[in-house]
Structure 1
């Protein structure tokens, strides 16, 4: 807590208002005691460090030490250099333990965090550069938060200035240990700074069962294809499209059990297997057991480490991975940070009301897009269809119809499946393109029959036709629905059908699209016409 209470009055306030609390202040090191740290009696905290701009305490949670640093940075840049040095020293003490630090650094990190950014443009001052270097050197980041971007203002009407001088920062270990922690910046009221509030375990509004998702590392298991084949062989009656979706639903149950038996809690399995190997190595070196068992455990550990690396890679959506990156803190921190960033805990509607329940937030999202898609712009006039025909003025050549209606070949279907990226996010059915590629020898014929059935009967099973609409944040700390970008995630079968249709249209697209619409032509860019004009 940042305070301006003088030392002679502090004891009376602490004794009257915080009788059942422990307190740590820095009056001995700073004029008027810039920082108070308070915690309820009965909670075990140890004071680690005290300086004029920072107090650090240490507690325990989930069997791990937890560090909290209360920051009140100086207004003077040279004095703040002492704070940066103090934080670096605390970082050595913290090591790899969870750590959070904040709130008033009295300096902002980026020029966009100041209201004069639009006037001055991008800039970096020496004080900002020192802060940026610190955050990069010790690998700390902003905790995702709800509330205003600017946390301080000068309250002046004529020369108004607002900046983000206050922030709650965490290290990557904190994000892993406290995945449900939540930060909110409240309105400043009569003060010039916003107050920050942190919850360690503010759960998301609803905890529904997670849908099935295929993880690509399952396919590397030696028994994977046998498990799939055993589930797939029993006959299903119905049309090819129904047969395929029914078998896939049945396979989900089998794969869930397969994952539970072999890969559940994959990171814990790696740690236990590594410990088992170390113990076995001791027995081998003592001559009590042969090297054979040690080699077997080492092979098991390698398989589990590779599976964990693939799991983290798929979760983190990192496209390139080096051998040295396997099982590193890098991937764990990315996954933890993504989870924090992607969970929607709070939304604000058009009236400024804060929505925290699942039902209220889901209704707000539905209303937003329904209004956007279902409303007509009164200023737009109806267009004469004949005018559009004159503008397009194009007719497909006679051979085009023959090309469009010719039978779909096995090769076209095969190519439409295998050209999809292995790590593409799955649709509602949860299966990735890699799954279909790995299992093609088992049920490739079923996929071909289902796709052929669509083109012959103009019917697609609703399970393949459904789409997940994922909301991806457009800004660092979204608060309204418009701060999210909707992304469609379709099933692999749906994409395959679309790719076949597109591949047959590709040959005629250059003739259909006007010359000035270069962005629709493969190999051309929307900027081409601009460059030609210049």
Structure 2
């Protein structure tokens, strides 16, 4: 193998044979020389069985500390691996490329779900030794940054992050990374204030504007100007609705991590609430009449759109 790639992948369980087959094919196609599988959920002799069946000639490392969470694997003809330090949340290794004799360190991380659970991880990372440079950190920290992922949709987000990250800063190793993250946190707070703003308020305003535009269009459905206003208001509402939904999903991630979607009662309660939010149970007509019966609500919508589009239409042109 002339060149190779490194991989870190949260596979979320690989007990099924079909998934193990797909995994080995992926490694072969993408020329993976070494890497780590996170959240394998493989325990005992299941790891050895998978390796001997689908990763013939590969070496691997798993221990009682990281079993089921982190599995390190490599091709010995491509790299040699020395385990330097480990815990239940990381495995720190030194890698040597067989062909070039180049050395570098890699720390594969699979963090705990809670902030408290990750505290020992930061302490351990700060105390790592590095017999070689560079140092690569890869994996899943199971952490949500204070700013939600709605930022990533903004056109200026990537430039803002890179501009802050690429600025020189004093320090080395993990200390330098922590200082850069602290600086970036301040930058993103300012970015959030000036470019993103109050997501909930923006959503509420966009929703009110969209409803107002729809009401105006109902009174005069053939007005081109009102149609355009309703279209623009709808696009604005869609954008802010997605941002607000992203915001809520990030805020609720703590509950999902705590209870999990395997918790039937919690999962179905959330599902029931989402269905209720998406369900139209009543409607107010142009004259101010409140309609609450399901059949009457459906009939009102059918009648409304028949007035706009007509009751008959032809889907084809006779030849």
**Same-fold call, TM > 0.5?**
no
* Range into which the TM-score falls when normalised by the shorter chain: 0.3 to 0.5
- TM-score by length of structure 2 reads 0.35
Query: Which structure is larger by alpha-carbon Rg, 1 or 2?
Result: 1
